[in-house]
Chains A and B, each alone.
Chain A
Amino acid sequence: MIPVAFKNLLHNRARLAVALGGVAFSVVLTLIELGILLGFLKNATAVIDRTPAELWVMAPQTPNQDMSHPISDRIAGQTRSVPGVAWAENLIFDWGVWKGADGRQENVQIIGIDLDGHIPLPLIAEKEDLEKLRRPNTVLLDTAERKRLGVDRVGVQAELWGRRAEIVGFTRGGRTFTTAAILVAQYDQAKEFTFTPMGGQTSFVQVKVADGYRVEDVQERLRERLSGVEVLTGAEFRARTIRYWLVTTGVGTGFLISALMGLLVGGAVVAQVLYANVVEHLKEFGVMKALGASPWWQTGLLLEQAAYVGLGGCALGLLSSAGLARVVEATQTPIWMPWPLMLCALAVAVVICLAASMVPAAKLLRLEPAAVFMS
Chain B
Amino acid sequence: MPGALTQPQTKLSLHPAPRPACETALELANVSKTYGSGAGAVHALRGVDLHIGTGSLSLIAGPSGSGKSTLLSVLGCLMQPSAGSVRVFGEALEKRSESHRSSVRRVNFGFVFQGIHLLPALTGLENVLLAGEIKGLSASEEQARSLMARVGVAELHDRLPKDMSGGQRQRVAIARALFGKPRILLADEPTAALDRRNAAATLELLRELSRSLDVAVIVVSHDRSLFHYADRLLELEDGRLKE
Contact = CB atoms under 8 A, between A and B. Distances in A.
Interface of A: 1-2, 4, 7-8, 10-11, 281, 283-284, 286-288, 290-294, 297, 368-370, 372-375
A278 to B, nearest CB: 13
A292 B102 contact: yes
B122 A7 contact: yes
A292 B114 contact: no
Contacts of B109: 292
Contact of B117 (A10, A287, A370): A287
B111 A291 contact: yes
A353 to B, nearest CB: 20
What interface size band does chain B fall in?
20 to 34
Interface in B93-120: 99, 102-103, 105-106, 109, 111, 113-115, 117-120
Residue among A4, A8, A294, A373 facing the most chain B CB atoms (10 A cut-off): A373
| Residue among B73, B99, B109 with max Cβ neighbours from chain A (10 Å) | B73
A8 B122 CA distance: 8
A373 B73 contact: yes
Contact of A10 (B79, B102, B103, B121): B121
Given A290-B76, A373-B72, A2 B129 contact: yes
Interface of B: 69, 72-73, 76, 78-79, 99, 102-103, 105-106, 109, 111, 113-115, 117-122, 126, 129-131, 133-135, 139, 188
Nearest to B133: A2
29 contacts: A1-B133, A2-B129, A2-B139, A7-B122, A8-B119, A10-B121, A281-B119, A283-B117, A284-B119, A284-B120, A286-B117, A287-B111, A287-B113, A290-B78, A291-B111, A291-B131, A291-B134, A292-B105, A292-B135, A293-B134, A294-B99, A370-B73, A370-B78, A370-B79, A372-B115, A372-B117, A373-B72, A373-B78, A375-B114
Most B-side CB within 10 Å, residue of A7, A283, A290:
A290
Contacts of A297: 134
A118 B235 CA distance: 103
A291 B120 CA distance: 17
Main secondary structure of the interface of B (DSSP, over half): mixed
Nearest to B80: A370
The residue among B99, B106, B121, B135 with the most chain A CB atoms within 10 A of its own CB is B121
Contacts of B76: 290, 370, 373
Given A1-B139, A4-B130, A372-B188, 14 more contacts: A2-B122, A2-B130, A2-B139, A7-B122, A281-B119, A283-B117, A286-B117, A290-B76, A290-B105, A291-B131, A292-B135, A294-B102, A372-B113, A375-B115
A365 to B, nearest CB: 11
Contacts of A290: 76, 78, 105, 111
Nearest to A293: B134
A373 B131 contact: no
Contacts of A374: 69, 73
B134 A2 contact: no
B82 to A, nearest CB: 14
Contacts of B72: 373
B81 to A, nearest CB: 12
Contacts of B79: 368, 370
Given A292-B105, A297-B134, A374-B73, A369 B78 contact: yes
Contacts of A10: 121
Contacts of B129: 2
